[in-house]
Chains A and B, each alone.
Chain A
Amino acid sequence: MPRVVRSSLRKELFANPIDGLVSVLLISGVGAAGYGLIHWALTQAQWVVIQANSTLFAVGRYPIEQQWRLWLLVALVAAATGLSWGALRGLPQRDRPITAVWPRNDRIAAIVLVALCGWAPAALGLAWPIQARWWALTALLLVLRWLAGRYASRLRKVATLGLPLLWPLLYLVGMVLIGGGLGLVTVGANEWGGLLLTLIEASFAILLSAPLGVVLALGRRSSLPLLRWGSIAYIEFIRGAPLITLLFLGQNILGFLLPGGLAPDRIWRAAWILTFFSAAYLAEAVRAGLAAVPRGQLEAARSLGLNLPQALSRVVLPQALRIALPATVGQFISLLQDTTLLSLIGLLDLLGTARSVMANPLYLGKSAEVYLTLAVLFWCCCAALGLGSRALERRLNPPTLGP
């Protein structure tokens, strides 16, 4: 064993007798638990419950003959991801004139992606043509990533204009592809399920609650008493109630509040409730960001002749939102987690699908396999969001400030 490793081990684990004892106990405990888990996963667990229901977990009861639309959507998302990823690396930045087109993190990400696409479809026991589709999708993503990284600097104008438009456009196209309309067969919201429903609800709520949260935060800091008190009342009402009671309210009372027939169906009701719920928490995050911007910034902007909306949108909000970014992404992560509550009001989101699968006598007593899979899935999504937020935070730090 090299001396460096030995000395750092000694310092970290065996600095004194008590530390040594604790370390030995912990290592044996963690080792035994890890061994038990791996032994169970490899020999006793029956993963067939996941393999047999993988489509159900992914898209719920989405009609099979219409599923090509979802494949098309996944392909579009893969293409857009590859393009944006490559363009982000390939475009010269103001503070970073020369960039490596394939930095180390990107190489790691690409390897992880390839490994995942090689392993997951095979482990799920998918048919060969479907496995091949996943390989093709990954290849599409990586090829576009390479092309965009290579040629983005030449097509600079198109890239800087097109990228911000790409994702909102894709979202609209995606909603049409999923829901139908414009010549496609309609697939009602009650046929969406599984991961698809979870992602739709979460993305809808995230997109709509962000502007609503900013408006509420501005209202709460406004000098006009009516706006201030209205915002405070709304925020505190929402934050004082558990989400499940609000979802319950949405399911049971929204029908009474709107004229007959106008009330949206249960999936959209839940989506709106999630939006309104999340907006109140976002407002608090943004308010903390606004409070951290010195008052002089607004006064300076006004004295330069900007009117209030201009001063807010050009001077105050960019600084406030940058400060509020970690808390905002934290709220988005908890919103993604909160979508599991939809299963309690009888919707078939990821957890609801899992519960319905478990109700099948064929899969009785397989809850450990299912719940562990869901836990890993959620963990990966949330951890990825957190990592992304930290990277964005580093990126957005103003280059001129700081030591």
Chain B
Amino acid sequence: MAGRLSASPPWWQNRRLVPWLVQGAVGLGILVVIAFLLGNLVRNLSAAGLLLSWRWLGQPASFDIAESLLPFNASEPYWRGLLAGLVNTLRVVGLGLIGATLLGTLVGSASFSSNGLVKRLARIYVEVIRNIPLLLQLVFWYFVVFLALPNGEAAIQLPGIVLSKSGLFLAGFEAGFHWSGPSLVDGVWQGPLRFTPEFGALLTGLVVYTGAFIAEVVRGGIAAVPKGQWEAATSLGLGPLLSLRRIIIPQALRVIVPGLNTQYISLAKNSSLAVACGYSDLYSVAETSLNQTGRAIEVIVILLAAYLAIDLAISLVMNGLNRLVQIKER
């Protein structure tokens, strides 16, 4: 008996050896696969004459970008085009984050309304939007809503705002400090601030879609605050607004902020569907560049790096916010 206990276990039960063997086998497997893929890549690329090079970025792009904040034309180099695309992406992501947060907060708190109809409508909105693919919603907004708007005289006109097939026109300062509204010149609307229907459709689609997910996050966050907190705040003599601001929201935010982070990142990634409604974001410019130059690897590297950077930036900000709202423990 004693002899059996003292005998060392067979090698496949050795607690020190086995982990190393497993890791060695897995590592070897990964290395072989990577070497195989990279070897093929180098061989195929050199056969096609497309070995890694960044010089094409400096050549003239010879395509136009329909709308961009950065002035851009076809004679400028590819890198300026990609930069203009990135700026366009950041623009729609930035406005989309604000819009989706506002809409999501509104709908999420509407599910706690005392009005039964408001509650049910909030529920219906979330259930309808979450079960329809975003891409389908985007093409719907673009082709069915924005491109069906009336044009010219028949456009939807409010003081300082005109919504027509050629876009959304807002009043603003023009040429120095001269306040002016949108105006009809030769049957074409012009105004100081113009959003194209492509941008409008993408922004609306992203806001409505992400708003539904954020509404769920907000609803979960508020529901996570125990009911006793409300009652305790009321019995301390706080009014509904004050107890909401001082007691409920700080506790709900602890649950909401991490969820928001996920939704913000998914909004940023979803903005790459812009190509479906004709908006020139980073992905759409990159796709055009690839079609013209054939530089697949470089374009993919740029795309992945750019989206990773946007994700990381959002995560950094949200983690900072998370630290602010978490419980301060002694």
- Residues of B close to A333: CB separation below 8 A: 131
Whether A386 pairs with B118 at a CB distance below 8 angstroms is no
- Whether B303 lies near A341 (C-beta < 8 A) is no
The listed residue (A30, A226, A259, A368) touching B144 by CB distance below 8 A is: A368
Tell me the nearest residue of chain A to B24, going by C-beta. A226
Chain A residues near B (Cβ < 8 Å): 11-13, 15-16, 19, 22-23, 26-27, 30, 223-227, 230, 240-245, 248-249, 252-253, 255-260, 333, 337-338, 340-341, 343-344, 351, 355, 358, 367-368, 371-372, 374-375, 378-379, 382-383, 386
Given A245-B300, A248-B287, A249-B300, decide whether A26 and B121 contact each other with a Cβ distance below 8 A: yes
Query: Contact at B135–A256, with CB atoms within 8 Å?
Result: no
State the CA gap A337–B303 with chains docked (Å). Answer: 23
Query: Ordered nearest first, which 9 A-B pairs have the shortest CB separation?
Result: A12-B116, A337-B133, A382-B131, A242-B269, A242-B272, A252-B296, A226-B23, A367-B143, A340-B133
The SS class assigned to the A binding surface is helix
- Rounded to whole Å, the gap between the CB of A174 and the closest CB of chain B is 24
Residue of B nearest to A249 (CB): B300
- A224, A256, A358: the one contacting B40 at CB < 8 Å is A256
**CA–CA, A252 and B304, complex, Å:** 14
From 7 to 59 in chain B, residues with beta carbon under 8 angstroms from any chain A beta carbon are: 19, 22-23, 26-27, 30, 37, 40-41, 44-45, 48
Q: Are B19 and A344 in contact (CB under 8 A)?
A: no
Measured between beta carbons, the chain A residues less than 8 angstroms from B37 are: 257-258
Q: How far is the CA of A124 from the CA of B131 in the complex (A)?
A: 24
The answer to whether A379 and B296 have CB atoms under 8 Å apart is no
Q: How large is the interface on B (under 10, 10 to 19, 20 to 34, 35 or more residues)?
A: 35 or more
Is B311 engaged at the interface, CB distance under 8 Å to the other chain?
yes
Complex formed: what's the CA distance from A368 to B144 in Å? Answer: 5
Residue contact A227 to B133, C-beta cutoff 8 Å: no
- How close is B131's CB to chain A, nearest CB, in angstroms? 4
Q: In the complex, A262→B261 CA distance in Å?
A: 40
Complex-state Cα separation, A248 to B287, whole angstroms: 9
B-side residues, CB < 8 A to A, are 19, 22-23, 26-27, 30, 37, 40-41, 44-45, 48, 114-118, 121, 127-128, 130-137, 139-140, 143-144, 148, 269-270, 272-273, 275-276, 283, 287, 290, 296-297, 300, 303-304, 307-308, 311
Contact A12 B117 (CB under 8 A): yes
A-B interface pairs (CB < 8 A), number: 140
**Chain B residue, CB-CB nearest to A371:** B140
Can you report 21 residue pairs joining A to B where beta carbons are below 8 Å apart?
A19-B115, A22-B118, A30-B121, A224-B19, A226-B23, A227-B22, A241-B307, A242-B270, A245-B272, A245-B300, A248-B303, A253-B297, A256-B297, A258-B37, A337-B132, A343-B135, A351-B135, A371-B136, A375-B136, A378-B136, A386-B131
**Contact residues in B for A27 (Cβ distance below 8 Å):** 117
The CB with the most chain B CB atoms within 10 A, among A22, A358, A378, A379, is that of A379
CA distance A226 to B23 in the complex (A): 6
Given known pairs A230-B30, A344-B276, A383-B127, the reply for A240 and B133 (CB within 8 Å) is no
CA distance A244 to B286 in the complex (A): 12
- The one of A26, A230, A337 in contact with B26, judged by C-beta atoms closer than 8 angstroms, is A230
- Complexed CA–CA distance, A375 and B308 (Å): 31
A244-B272, A338-B133, A371-B144 known; A226 and B115 CB under 8 Å? Answer: no
Using A224-B23, A252-B290, A344-B135 as known contacts, say yes or no to A15 and B140 having CB atoms under 8 A apart: no
Looking at the assembled complex, report how far the CB atom of A343 sits from the nearest CB atom of chain B, in whole angstroms: 7
**Which one, A26, A240, A338, contacts B311 given CB within 8 A?**
A240
Q: Is B22's CB under 8 angstroms from A224's CB?
A: yes
B115-A22 in contact (CB<8A) = yes
A7 to chain B, nearest CB (A): 13
Given contacts A368-B144, A383-B127, contact A258 B116 (CB under 8 A): no
